[in-house]
Structure formats: C-alpha cells, structure tokens
Amino acid sequence: MRILTLAALLLASAAPAPVLAQKVAPILTTPEAKDVWTRARPAEARVTHVDLDLDVDFASQTIAGTATLEVLAAKGAKEIVLDTLDLAISSITDEKGRKLAYTLGEKDEQLGSALTIQLGGAKQIRVAYASTPGARALQWLTPEQTLGKAKPFLFSQGQAINNRSWIPTQDSPGIRQTWHATIRVPEGLVAVMSARADTPEGEPVAGGKRAFRFTMENPVPPYLVALAVGDLKFKPIGPRSGVWSEPGMLDAAVAEFGDVEKMIDAAQALYGPYRWGRYDMLVLPPSFPFGGMENPNLTFLTPTILTGDRSNTDVVAHELAHSWSGNLVTNATWADGWLNEGFTTYFENRIMEALYGKERAAIYADLDYAGMVRDVKNAGGDAAPSTRLHGEPGDSAGQLDYLKGSTFLRTIEQAVGRNRWDPYLRGYFDRHAFQPQTSAGFLADLRQHLIKGDQALETKLQLDRWVYQPGIPDNAVHVTSATLAQVDAMLAAFNAGGPASAIKTDGWQTQQWKRLLDNLPRQQSAARLKELDDALGLTRSTNAYVQSAWFDLAIANRYEPVVPALEEYLTRVGRNLLVTPLYRGLKAQGEWGEPIARRIFAKARPGYHPVTVGAVTKILDSN
C-alpha cells in the first residue's frame, strides 16, 4: 500500500476545529480524594488549561520554552502551587507580562519540588523553563538506538507522576486540564502528541526547525499529555484509525492491528460513544517501558507485541478500553489505580470476546485469575495489605490493580447478569464522563444505580471486602479455558517424566506458551532444560513473551547455555513486564546471577527508559 501524504490522510482531523467553551472538570474534596503525590492545593487555586510553546533540542537533551497556565482561584487565594521535578525556571509572569514572585521548594526524589507562585490577582501565569537531561518522563535515543539507525528519537511516558519533569503544572489525575501545544523540532523529524494534530505535516520555522501544533479540548489528567519525535511515518487502517512508526516496522504494525476498527465498534456497542475523535497508535522503539500507554488519540505501544499472529492485540484492546475507563473516568488519586486498570482489563476482555468469541476471552480471564492468585501468594497471602484494591498509592502487589479489579467486576457481572450490568456500566461512564472518581464514589454509584437497596444482593457481592480488605473474597468468579486445560494436561505429562517432544505446540499463541512456561516447576535439571529447548526452540523464539518466560525458568536453575541469548535480549528489549523479572531472578541467584545482572545492566542501561532504569536499579540495590 502506498504511503499517502499526511495532509491527505488526516485532512478531517487536521481541519481547524470550532473554538469550544472550555470545560472545567470538578475537583473532588472528599478525604479519599486527597492526592498525596502532588503538592498542589486545587481547592484554593487550580490549573484548568495548559498552553505549551516548546523547542526540542536533541543535542542538549532538553525541552525548553513556556507553559502558560489558566488559573481558577478561590476567593482570597493568594498563591498557586505546581509540581516540578528538576526544571530550570527562568521567569514567571502574568497575562500582562508582569513578573510574579515564586519559590521553589526542597526537592523530594519521588515528588520533586513544589513551585509556589504568588498570584497577585493573575488569571493566567506563564512559566519560562527548560527540562534537564535525564528528565524522568523523557527518553532520548541516539540514531544507533533506533530501527532506522539514521535519526534520533524522543518519547515521553507521563504515568504516574513523571510529566512534572517536563511540564510545570498540577500533576495529579484528579486535576483535569485541557491543553494546547506548539512543538518545534529539527527539520526532517516529525512530532506527534496525544491530541488532535492541527498541523500534521508541521510548518517550517526559523532555525531549520518545523513546528507542530496540537489541541486537546477535553479535560484530561496531566499524565496523559504525551510527546514523541522521530523518523515517523503514518498509514491508515480505517476511517478513524492508523499507525505511526519508524518506516521499517510500519507494514508489520498495520497488519498486526488490522482489527482495530472492529474493536472500536465493539467497544462503542458495549459502553457508549468513543469521544476522542481518532484512535491512532504509535509503535515505539523497544526501550518503551510498558506494553502500551493509553494516551488519548494516540496510544503508545511496544514493538514486542508485533508477533505476526495478532495474539497480543489484547494490548490494543486494553489501551482502547482506557478511552472509557481511565481517560474518560479517571481515578482521582493513585491509591485507586484499580478504577483505571481493573475496569480496563475487564472491558478489554469483553472487546476480545465480541471479536474472537468466548473461548478466546476465557483464555485471558483464566490467565488473569491465575496471575491474581500468584500475586497474592507472592505478596505474603490473603492478609497482606498490598493485596487491597484501595490502598497506599504504588503499593499494590504485582498486577493486582488489573487482575483483582477485573475479577471483582466479573463477579458483579455474573451475579446480576449482563442485561443489568452492561446498561449500568454504560450509564456510569456517561454520568462521570471527563471527571475524577474514587473507590467510595464508585461504590456509592453502584449502590444507587444497580443495587438499589437490594440487601440480599449487597450481601452477595461483598463490595467493601473487595475494595478495602486484603486477599481474594470467597465469591470470586474464576472463568476457565478449555484451551488452557489442554496445555495443563501436556504440562502434567511432562512433569510426570514424559518427553518434551510430546508437547505439541503447533498453532500455539502467546497465551498457551505462557501457561506452559510459567507453570513448569522452578527446579529442573540441565538435561531437562536442554530437552525442552531442543524440542520447543525456546531460546531462538522470536516471541518476546516466550523468551522472557523461558529465561526466567533458566535463570532459576543457573542454566549457563542461555546467558549469551539472555544478554542479547536484555540489551534489546526495555519493557518492564519482560525484563524486570529477569533481573530479579538473576539478583536472587547471588554470586552466580548478580554479577551477570550487573554486567548486562551496565551495557543495556543507555537503551532503557528512566522508568526501567529506576526499576532495575532498585532490584539490584536491594538487600
């Protein structure tokens, strides 16, 4: 398929939109809505809109310019507090250009520094600033670290509180803001953002640069402001969707994500209209630390899901589902991250069922249940505080926000039936669209609009236990998969001493491989590991999920033959889900594994995003 000009492809989305009245999202003031990960005091003065005017400089690895903030202040408020992390502030003025007094508080390594600005009656403040090299949200890649090897690359990752390292604002999910951006980049590079592209091909400006302009008219949490700059090309998939990537992987990505228009249709049929205009996807270099990031209008994706069989497009369904749960209705604080991820994991499963049938959905649900049980066990059991849904921010064990949260919603679904549950959820998204939410708020809405005083149903659901207590309640619904049961039977035969050659993997997708490899006993002889590798081709697999699971097993047994391939893998892949378990396994192997981990990390570190660097450093420096 020929790559058309960006102007032709995106004409509808690029056309100037009518100026709309700015929507101001509410601020929740209940005790449960207090965000301990922000220094802002939004009840006194809050940001409603951000206008960025920035230059991207690859030589200095900085972004510099201005952020102009619209401020809504309570009567008598004298100051506003913003979140910053290692920003170099040069001046702050009001809408008339008058300088405003400000102080930059002491730095906290996690939260950064509070920027307190004296308002003096200002309704608008302009902060002139620059990010610093090593900004936590930004990864700068040299040409050699990209697929094309010819041009540099930059991308941001804002969740959870990283954007304060390149945007001075109130960096809390409960303080939703509209925004506009003008981004200037070197000629020959393309900038994309998580918003409507007003100038998709850019405009030439002074200094050999090109300016790209973007508008987000819906109020969003600040972590959803995202930027990428690189040698990027675009191909459409359908009228509402398309793919951005480096040219060398564009065709593969378009083929992999070919069902996305059907996914959008299925999602809308379930829970209401898609309210963000386009749903485009950006495939990033392998250093992207996550599977996907649900940035509005432009989902960021890892290339590790490009396996050629669409077996990992559940990641795309997940990020699409975030357009309702997370982006439309957002957890007010990170103590309630399950309202984002648990809802989305449940919704993702419903999209996959609509497209591919009940058994495909059952595979994912079965794996999620097993993952939930494993995470609870690893956290210390049912009494461990980190197994609560509503808890300390960042303290949830493993992926329990995703897995326990989705199991909770599936349990409600089976208790009341889809004929009641689906209309309820659709109404929930409508009632709270573009607003923050808390666990208490969700439960109150559930009781008002679904339970409606039915005490027997209230008792059956155990709502408060699911949300506020640790462990897995005894009414948890476990959906089982016939496909995975077949894998379990072959696994049992192998564990009983049968040959690896009896494990028939023809036509297997990622989920079947994971079921097998994750459930093999952790203690294996070198001969047995060699037999598995010879029979199943694990080391030479081209599936990043399969390789990670295999390396994890090999590390647990100090299986030396995989070390060269392991090193190549860890220096090529930067996705947290796939690499941090391997570093953790190496660290646990003491004098054998820790030197290997440190040697590989020293080599791989320059290609990792700061989020991954921090995660691996924490593992290696732990006692």
CATH of the domain at 374: 1.10.390.10
Question: Is pLDDT of 443 > 80?
Answer: yes
How confident is the model at residue 103, as a pLDDT? 98
HSE value, Cβ hemisphere, 13 Å, CA-based, for 240: 16
How confident is the model at residue 623, as a pLDDT? 83
How confident is the model at residue 2, as a pLDDT? 32
Q: Select which of 364, 402, 559, 569 is catalytic.
A: 402
CA-to-CA distance for 493 and 274, rounded, in angstroms?
47
Nearest to 222 by CA among 440, 38, 34: 38
Query: Are 338 and 422 members of one domain?
Result: yes
394: domain range?
329-468
Q: Which of 231, 247, 265 is the last residue of a domain?
A: 231
Residue 83 lies in a domain: yes
Residue-wise pLDDT tens digits, 569-586: 999 999 999 999 999 999
Residue-wise pLDDT tens digits, 392-423: 998 998 899 999 999 999 999 999 999 999 99
Residue-wise pLDDT tens digits, 10-38: 333 333 333 333 479 999 999 999 999 99
49-53, 88-92, 307-311, 345-349: least confidently modelled range: 307-311
Question: Is pLDDT of 8 > 80?
Answer: no
Residue 319 among the catalytic residues: yes
Q: Are strands 196-197 and 209-220 parallel, antiparallel or unpaired?
A: antiparallel
Query: Are 448 and 555 members of one domain?
Result: no
Residue 569 among the catalytic residues: no
Residue 314 lies in a domain: no
Residue 78 lies in a domain: yes
* 194 φ/ψ angles, rounded to the nearest 5 degrees: -85, 60
How confident is the model at residue 14, as a pLDDT? 35
89 neighbors 67 (Cβ within 8 angstroms)? no
How confident is the model at residue 19, as a pLDDT? 34
Query: Are 92 and 222 members of one domain?
Result: yes
Q: Select which of 319, 341, 348, 413 is catalytic.
A: 319
DSSP 328-367: TEEESSGGGTHHHHHHHHHHHHHHHHHHH-HHHHHHHHHH
Q: Which of 213, 231, 249 is the last residue of a domain?
A: 231
CA-to-CA distance for 162 and 332, rounded, in angstroms?
16
Residue 308 lies in a domain: no
Query: Are 51 and 198 members of one domain?
Result: yes
How confident is the model at residue 419, as a pLDDT? 98
Residue 602 lies in a domain: yes
Domain total of the chain = 3
Query: Are 555 and 488 members of one domain?
Result: yes
17-31, 132-146, 298-312, 574-588: least confidently modelled range: 17-31
Instruction: Please report, to the nearest 10 degrees, the dihedral formed by the alpha carbons of residues 343, 578, 110, 297 taken in order.
Output: -50
Query: Are 454 and 594 members of one domain?
Result: no
Residue-wise pLDDT tens digits, 480-511: 999 999 999 999 999 999 999 999 999 999 99
Query: Are 455 and 491 members of one domain?
Result: no
Query: Are 504 and 456 members of one domain?
Result: no
Q: Which of 416, 445, 468 is the last residue of a domain?
A: 468
Query: Are 580 and 434 members of one domain?
Result: no
Residue-wise pLDDT tens digits, 229-242: 999 999 999 999 99
Query: Are 108 and 46 members of one domain?
Result: yes
Q: Which two tokens stand for residue 90?
A: 């040069």
How confident is the model at residue 241, as a pLDDT? 98
- Over residues 272-296, the mean pLDDT reads 94
